Amino acid sequence: MWSNLFVQQEEDGRMGVVGAGQGGGLAGMKGLRGQRRTNKMSDSQEGKIKLAFFVAIVGVTLTVLGMGTEFWVELAQPKDFSGNQTCQMAHYGLWKGCVRTLWVADIDPERTSCGPAELPGESNCTYFKFFTSGENAVIFKKTTNRNLNLAAAVLALLSLTMMVMGSICIAMSLSKGVLFFLKPASFCFILSGVLVLLSVLIFHQSVLALLSSDHSIPLHHELSWSVACVGSAGAILIFGGFLFIVLALPFSPWQRCFPHKNSTT
């Protein structure tokens, strides 16, 4: 009888220990889950991310502004080439080109070529047929290089796609309150900036190919303000991408270079 009583007490003690162990394990798991849920970005981190995103949005805005205009390059004849009171010049971008007829009296006397494009005059604008029938454009008896113009336009469109993907990653990071999406966002914005700069370089090569296609009409060429917008946008996008990389680090780069040393006495 006494032996059965002792055995029953030992079993009850073991069950209590097991139950306490299971309860402690559940409590520990709940604590870890709570810790994971509360491991989100602070208000200061969220403010820095929004500031970096604003920088990237400035680059996106400049890119869209530059891509949508036809002032990438200006081609100007000598203002006395036609021998009358008017002269002609052309300006074009990725999608459209315009030929303008200006009055010689409105041009600066110290300027030898026709222009600039901001002067009042008649304009004749047409969209390029690179993307439809594949035809090259002819400007002042000079023929464009369809392959180079297509490459510049495709790179510009790819850069816009990467900007949209980067913006989606930042929106998800801010809505979820996690830093994980900053790394893919930084990759998207840096790649978009590189693609924008490559588009400008290839476009400039297409302009040189256009000028070398015919030499019967002398032309003065200069890159216009749209290229300045797009080039600045590429640099801003790359800078914004690196800002997201810095914000995605677990601690500041200054702490990595100069680690804090606790002084002991």
Residue range of the domain that includes 187: 43-250
- What is the C-alpha to C-alpha distance for residues 198 and 206, in angstroms, rounded to an integer? 12
| CATH code of the domain containing 103 | 1.20.140.150
Q: Does a structural domain hold residue 179? A: yes
Q: Does a structural domain hold residue 25? A: no
Q: pLDDT digits over 15-51, tens only?
A: 444 444 444 444 444 444 444 443 466 788 888 999 9
Q: For residues 81 and 218, is the Cβ–Cβ distance under 8 A? A: yes
- What is the C-alpha to C-alpha distance for residues 43 and 200, in angstroms, rounded to an integer? 39
Q: Is the peptide bond before 116 cis (omega within 30 degrees of 0)?
A: yes
Q: Does a structural domain hold residue 63? A: yes
Q: Does a structural domain hold residue 17? A: no
pLDDT of 263 above 90: no
User: Residue 31: its pLDDT value, please?
Assistant: 46
Per-residue pLDDT band for 12 (boundaries 50, 70, 90) equals: low
- The pTM for the full model equals 0.77
Give the mean model confidence (pLDDT) for residues 176-204.
93
**At residue 84, what are phi and psi to the nearest 5 degrees?**
-130, -160
The set of residues, in sequence order, having a beta carbon less than 8 Å from that of 206 and lying 6+ positions away, is 144, 145, 148, 149, 152
End-to-end CA distance of the chain: 66
Tokens of 249: 């680090």
- What is the C-alpha to C-alpha distance for residues 79 and 223, in angstroms, rounded to an integer? 19
Q: Does a structural domain hold residue 4? A: no
CB burial of 216-240 (b: ≥16 within 10 Å; e: otherwise) equals: eeebbbebbebbebbbbbbebbbbb
Q: Does a structural domain hold residue 210? A: yes
Q: For residues 127 and 96, is the Cβ–Cβ distance under 8 A? A: yes
Q: pLDDT digits over 80-103, tens only?
A: 887 788 889 999 999 999 999 999
- What is the C-alpha to C-alpha distance for residues 187 and 169, in angstroms, rounded to an integer? 10
- What is the C-alpha to C-alpha distance for residues 51 and 164, in angstroms, rounded to an integer? 18
How many CB atoms neighbour CB 53 within 10 A? 21
What is the SS3 assignment for 55?
A: helix
Q: Does a structural domain hold residue 264? A: no
Q: Does a structural domain hold residue 36? A: no
Residue 139, beta-bridge partner list:
142
Which residue shows structure tokens 């006494």? 2
How many CB atoms neighbour CB 179 within 10 A? 18
Domain count, the chain: 1
